[in-house]
Amino acid sequence: MPAKKSNNWYIITGGPCAGKTTALKELERRGYKVQYEMARIFIDKEIARGKNIEDIRGDEGAFQKKMLKMKVELEKKLPKGKIIFFDLGVPDSIAYYQMAGLSTKDTYLTKAVEGSSYKKIFLLEMYPYKKDYARIQPKEDALKIQRLLESSYKRLGYPIVKVPVMPTVKERVDFILNNL
Report the distance separating Cα 23 and Cα 179, nearest Å: 14
Instruction: Please state the domain count of the chain.
Output: 1
The mean pLDDT of the chain is 91
Strand arrangement of the beta sheet that strand 33-35 belongs to? 33-35, 84-87, 9-13, 120-124, 160-163
Most confident of 36-45, 94-103, 125-134: 94-103
Q: Is residue 133 part of a domain?
A: yes
Q: What is the mean pLDDT of residues 133-141?
A: 74
CATH number, domain with residue 73 = 3.40.50.300
In a domain, 128, yes or no: yes
Residue 148: CB partners within 8 Å, gap ≥ 6? 94, 95, 98, 99
- Its domain, for residue 154, covers 9-178
Q: Is residue 160 part of a domain?
A: yes
Average pLDDT rounded to a whole number, residues 158-179: 97
Residue 3 lies in a domain: no
Helix or strand (DSSP H, E) at 4: none
More confident residue, 51 or 139: 51
**High-pLDDT (> 70) share of the chain, %:** 93
